[in-house]
Amino acid sequence: MASKPRNSINYGEFTITLLIRTAGYISVLFVLLISLFLIREAVPAFIKIPADSLFNTRWYPIEGMYGILPLLTGSLTITIGASLIAIPLGLLTAVYISEIAPPWTKEILKPLVEILAGIPSVVLGFLGILVLSPFLRETFNLPTGLTALTGSILLGWAAIPTIVSVSEDALNTVPASYREASLALGCTRWQTIWGVAVPSARSGIITAIMLGVGRVIGETMTVMMVTGNAPTMPDGLRTIILPIRTMTATIASEMGEVANGSDHYQVLFLIGLILFIFSLVINVIAFQISSRRIKRSERLLS
């Protein structure tokens, strides 16, 4: 029977396989590139600017003050505030969708959550400016509605879909036999959810929370539009109703106006590097948690 000449198969196959193998490493390539590049542009800032000036509380680039502490605390404030909203709401909604909701409700809720996930951050920021901010200002009698509170609410709510989808996946992979065993012992579904399902989905839920937090830290446009952009240090609990500024917003608003290679430019890259490292740490931890769990359950079920 006629068969294709071996040579042409081998050549073509070889080339394609080579291309595919190269492409496989592309993520590693880019992570390396990005980190190298950030380091390259940020390190001069470390060298040029004395540490006590860098870790100062005044961010005033026009006068050469590059204290990044207010930016760090700004990001921290927003992250805590948003997490306080996103984690409980996200978790509980995930539990509801995967354990309690009847199928027709699921069909409505899941697409809605996905829609929320798809709303661009600039749209959320827009709504924050026009709707949420005036509302909060009037309700709480504040001097301005562009505060950490506004940002926290908006960001927290926007991070919910991330937490919901990953948690829901985790809850869905809990073996039915676990739940059945609990119910067979006479526990109610409610007790089964909190006594069996959630604990065994623990690592997936933690992963979800970490990814949600990562999303909050990295959010740029929304915070830029609604948090007031004032690089101030926190002032006790009052901070929540004060304007603040995050690291992300700083980079976004000031990068357009800096001279290439200037001190300001390099400090902005430094801030970018800090953000990059934060997200790296969070993601690696989340990955370790989720993969360790797989190995353990493989052992359990074998």
Partner 1 sequence: MDSKFDSSNARKHEKIGFAALTALSTLTVLPIIAILIYIVIQGLPTVTWEFLSQFPSDGMRAGGIYPAIVGTFYLTIGTALFSIPPGIAAAIYLSEYAPDNRLTRIIRIAMINLAGIPSVVYGLFGLGVFVIFLQFGTSILAASLTLSIMTLPVIISTSEEAIRAVPQSFRLISISVGATKWETIRKIVLPQSLPGIITGIILGLQRAAGETAPILFTGAAFFLPQMPQSPLDATMALPYHLYVISTQVPGMPIQIQYGTVLVLLGFVLSMEILATVIRSRARARRKW
Partner 2 sequence: MVIQTEPTEIILIKDLSLRYSDGNESLRNINLSIKSKAINVLFGPANGGKSTLLRSLNRLNDLTDVNQLTGEIWFNGQNILSSEVDVIELRRKIGIVFSRPVVLPMTIFENISYGLILAGMRNRVQLKERVKEALEQAVLWDEVYDRLDTPAADLSGGQKQRLCLARSLALKPEIIMLDEPTSALDPVSTTNIEDLLQRIKKDITIILAPHNTQQAARMADYAAFFLQGELVEWGEGPQIFGMPRNKKTQEYIEGRYG
The residues that bridge with 60 in the sheet, in sequence order, are 65
Task: Determine if 301 is a binding residue for partner 2 (CB under 8 A).
Answer: no
Nearer to partner 1, 94 or 174 (CB): 94
Write down the least CB distance from residue 235 to partner 1, Å. 26
User: Out of partner 1, partner 2, none, which partner does residue 154 contact, by CB within 5 to 8 A per kind?
Assistant: none
Long-range contacts of 115-123 (CB under 8 A, 24+ apart): 116/157, 116/158, 116/160, 116/161, 117/161, 117/162, 117/165, 119/158, 120/221, 121/158, 121/219, 121/220, 121/221, 121/222, 122/221, 122/222, 122/225
Write down the least CB distance from residue 251 to partner 1, Å. 5
Assess contact for 179 and 217: CB atoms under 8 A: no
Assess contact for 239 and 260: CB atoms under 8 A: no
Tokens representing 25 are 């490493």
Write down the least CB distance from residue 232 to partner 1, Å. 20
Task: Determine if 6 is a binding residue for partner 2 (CB under 8 A).
Answer: yes
Direct distance between the N- and C-terminal alpha carbons of the chain, in angstroms, rounded to an integer? 48
Q: Quick one: which segment of 55-63, 76-84, 113-121, 232-240 binds partner 1 (CB under 8 A)? A: 113-121
Task: Determine if 191 is a binding residue for partner 1 (CB under 8 A).
Answer: yes
User: Out of partner 2, partner 1, none, which partner does residue 209 contact, by CB within 5 to 8 A per kind?
Assistant: none
Report the C-alpha gap between 286 and 292 in whole angstroms: 10
Residues 9-28 touching partner 2, rule: CB under 8 A, are 9
Report the C-alpha gap between 153 and 5 in whole angstroms: 66
Task: Determine if 130 is a binding residue for partner 1 (CB under 8 A).
Answer: yes
Report the C-alpha gap between 98 and 161 in whole angstroms: 14
Write down the least CB distance from residue 133 to partner 1, Å. 12
Task: Determine if 214 is a binding residue for partner 1 (CB under 8 A).
Answer: yes
Q: 153 vs 58, 79, 189, CA distance in Å?
A: 27, 11, 32
Task: Determine if 302 is a binding residue for partner 2 (CB under 8 A).
Answer: no
Write down the least CB distance from residue 244 to partner 1, Å. 17
The only residue of 61, 96, 178, 297 in contact with partner 1, by rule CB under 8 A: 96
Task: Determine if 113 is a binding residue for partner 1 (CB under 8 A).
Answer: yes
- Around Cβ 122, how many Cβ atoms within 10 Å? 13
Nearer to partner 1, 50 or 135 (CB): 135
Q: Quick one: which segment of 43-51, 61-69, 117-125, 292-300 binds partner 1 (CB under 8 A)? A: 117-125
Nearer to partner 2, 4 or 295 (CB): 4
Give the residue carrying structure tokens 């899941």: 110
Contacts with partner 1, 241-260, as mask; x by CB under 8 A: -------x--xx--xx---x
Q: Which amino acid is at 270?
A: L
